[in-house]
Chain A
Amino acid sequence: MHQDHEMHIRRRGRNFGLLAVLLGFIVIIFGVTVVKIRTGGFSEGFDHVARPALVPIEEADQ
């Protein structure tokens, strides 16, 4: 039967705590990414949004 090493038993609380912190970090990164994409924070808009200001005047007149 597999027996946990004494050190692992001793550090169980600490390891689970670290696990919780890492999971929390993942959730935060994911959440920030979702919010940023929805609000357009990361997108400069050069290739996704029409920017009339970038269109040359002659072209815009036609």
Chain B
Amino acid sequence: MTDASLHIPAPAAIADEASLRDYWQLLKPRLMSLSVFTALVGLLVAPAGVHPFLGATSILWIALGAGASGALNMWFDADIDRVMKRTRKRPIPSGRVAPSDALALGLFLAVLSTVMLGLTANWVAAFWLAFTIFFYTVIYSMWLKRTTSWNTVIGGLAGAFPPMIGYAAVTGGTPVEAWLMVGLIFMWTPPHFWALALFVKMDYHTARIPMLTVTHGRDETRRQAWFWSIGLALVSLGTAVSGIGGPLTLLVAVILNAVFLKGAWDMWHRTDADSEADGHAVEKGLFKWSLVYLFAHFAVFVVEVALGPWGGW
């Protein structure tokens, strides 16, 4: 290659050249923010002290690991993203970032975040971060997302690990309390996503992604959301009586779950016609409550710890 190649005019490429913002978008910042929040809670409720700087940097590496998963997912799913309206403007399908660049960034960040978390915190936390990246990229994105309608459920597991990684970063272990936090997000994801799928017109069928609403129908999706909500309530109460819970957590969990179950029950006992008639009020209500639910539930774990001798059992 000579300097001459730099002078070849390529107006289209120049106009669409990737900016830092595009690389940032590759990391799926919204998913990253959820990982940061839940990992931070895991770190704060762990029954051991951690230096604030090491704690903050551990969270940073967990966030970068989540970002690596996002970049690898966007690299592999570029063909799907290209045909769906919602994702067509992402950096790879829009042509601003080359797929090979996204792959390189994802792999680099995956290795960097894992090694740095191992050095900053410990290798138990680093192992679970590496496992999460592997699970989201290989098991979910490359394999199950395109082959089974339970992809939402399985994909949710990858998003559920960050609080456990935060907990492990402090303690070096993953006791039942850490797994209960994983279970909480795991059970929360399906009804949260299915409520959204019932009121937003998604074109997954165009991309041949077997979503539950398409493969098993919308009525079955409503029914499944109810059953997963019951499971969610049970895990939620489990966290409340565990080592990270307490009377306050139990009270908050009862309120959060009562509203959630009412919403899921109502959503099950109505048809698409009912839903169209009131502008999907119940589905939208459950979706919004699910956001409040997750934030409040994890926040109350921290409050319980902050209460010191007055918190916990």
Contact = CB atoms under 8 A, between A and B. Distances in A.
Interface of A: 5, 7, 10-11, 13-14, 17-18, 28, 31-32, 35-36, 39
B14 interface: yes
B165 to A, nearest CB: 17
Contacts of B20: 13-14, 17-18
Given A10-B14, A14-B20, A5 B6 contact: yes
Interface residues of B, number: 13
B220 interface: no
Interface of B is mostly: helix
A28 B18 CA distance: 27
Given A28-B57, A32-B119, A14 B51 contact: no
Nearest to A41: B54
Contacts of B17: 10-11
Contacts of B60: 28
Contact of A32 (B6, B19, B53): B53
Interface string B176-189: 00000000000000
Contacts of A36: 54
Nearest to A28: B57
A31 B57 contact: yes
Contacts of B51: 35, 39
